[in-house]
Amino acid sequence: MGLALMAGLVIKEIPFLLLMSLAALPQLDAERRVAMARSLGYRPMTAWLKVVVPALYPLIRLPVYAVIAYATAVVDVALILGPTLPPTLAVSILAWYQDPDLSRRFMASAGAVLQLGVTATALIAWWCLECLVARLGQQWLARGGRGQGEQPLRLAGKGLILLASLTAFVGLAGLALSSIAGFWRFPDALPQAVTAAHWLRALPTLAGPVATTALIAIGATLIALALALAALENEQRSGRHPAQGKLLSALTLLYLPLIVPQIAFLFGLVVVMESLGTRPRLWLVIFGHLLFVLPYVFLSLSEAYRRFDPRWSQLALSLGTSRHAVFWRVRLPMLLAPLLTAGAVGLAVSIGQYLPTLLLGAGRIATVTTEAVSLAAGGNRRVIGVWALVQASLPLVGFIIAVGLPRLLWSNRRGMRGSL
């Protein structure tokens, strides 16, 4: 019934939606909204739902649509957790594309078009649900209930988040235990011995995929950061918000890879590249990753860049500094933490890309993710644990650098914090 696939996608997407919500909250002045509602007698949870959520959801609608599009066409998660008889449509399209019989390519093309229709149907259904909830929500807001049923709702929310977090941590702990497990008989809860033999056997084969993964992720993330900074700096200098003028179409194209199903989008890209005679190369895989890394990097960086205090730039300009010098010597150093955070998000997104690497690399470019997904189809849990832990640790390195590097670089300037 796909219950394991749904549960895995829920656990996977909760951090992303939480991150996007936290990035959007500063635009709403949520504390003042809640305080105003509390002054009218509303309980905290009810106040949040009635005055913050209706204003927050339009700001995160695009990430929600991206999650729906991803869930309807996911391949790597479906290969591991999804049903197999029959498989999901995206997995079937991938199997038809990889079939030795080239006539199956036409079936894969038809399946890709059908996948577009499935995703569009899911998005339309969600939009209809939005309209229904909006209509019912207006009646709920107008009734003015100030706290009925808040405690069960609070407990349910905390319980579900705790359950999702515990499930993720238990999964990681299970992988770690499997990677060092020796002889493990079925009824026993723990292995009878621990060993590092699985790691020692896997280390020689890990070097190549890890290096390729790092090269692709760093290349795609650096290009995405450069493009996002150029777009945001141009926005600041021109004084035009993305919702104005021609920038609207540019942002629509930027977010298009998040809304269009990956299997359909990439299958069409592969057909175009083959018709142009382009052979699978590392730069082509980096380009494929860039299409999906750039929207996430832009979303992560844009709010901090737009909220940067313009007085710093005005002060530097008043001292005779050029606009380019202000960008390099004032804006970028002061936005180091958001830049590194956006870079860490880009690295995490690139490291987790399975389908772009497989299709644009024609299966010839091995990364940690492609190898881990391939091994997941086997039955050797020890080897799976080793590769999956390495895959999980690579994004963690990026976030550790994003948190630690600013503190290390600005450790001698902590006294300037809050001086203005």
What is the CATH number for 236? 1.10.3720.10
Is 419's pLDDT higher than 50?
no
Sequence-ordered list of residues with C-beta below 8 angstroms from that of 399, at least 6 positions apart, any chain: 344, 348
How does residue 52 score in pLDDT terms, banded at 50, 70 and 90?
confident
How does residue 390 score in pLDDT terms, banded at 50, 70 and 90?
confident
pLDDT digits (tens, 9 = 90+) for 145-160: 666 666 777 788 788 8
- Residue where a domain stops, chosen among 148, 182, 207: 148
pLDDT digits (tens, 9 = 90+) for 6-31: 888 888 888 888 877 887 787 777 88
Is 247's pLDDT higher than 50?
no
- Residue where a domain stops, chosen among 148, 180, 208: 148
Same domain, 214 and 341: yes
pLDDT at 415: 57
CB 31 within 8 A of CB 310: no
Three-class SS state of 239: coil
Same domain, 41 and 125: yes
Same domain, 223 and 136: no
Tokens, residue 188: 């026993």
How large is the greatest C-alpha to C-alpha distance in the chain, in angstroms? 75
Q: What is the mean pLDDT of the chain?
A: 81
- Residue where a domain stops, chosen among 148, 165, 188: 148
Same domain, 137 and 216: no
Torsion of CA 56, 57, 63, 66, to 10 degrees: 180
CB 233 within 8 A of CB 392: no
| Any domain includes 163 | no
Same domain, 143 and 222: no
Is 242's pLDDT higher than 70?
no
C-alpha span between 302 and 235 (Å, rounded): 10
| Any domain includes 160 | no
Chain-centre distance for alpha carbon 57: 18
Same domain, 231 and 337: yes
How many structural domains compose the chain?
2
| Nearest Cα to Cα of residue 300 among 67, 54, 18 | 18
Same domain, 143 and 244: no
CB 83 within 8 A of CB 5: yes
| Any domain includes 176 | no
| Any domain includes 48 | yes
Mean pLDDT value across residues 34-51: 81
> Which ranges constitute the DSSP H helices of 74-149?
76-81, 89-97, 104-143
Domain limits for position 115? 1-148
| Any domain includes 233 | yes
How does residue 185 score in pLDDT terms, banded at 50, 70 and 90?
confident
| Any domain includes 183 | no
| Any domain includes 155 | no
Model-wide pTM > 0.95: no
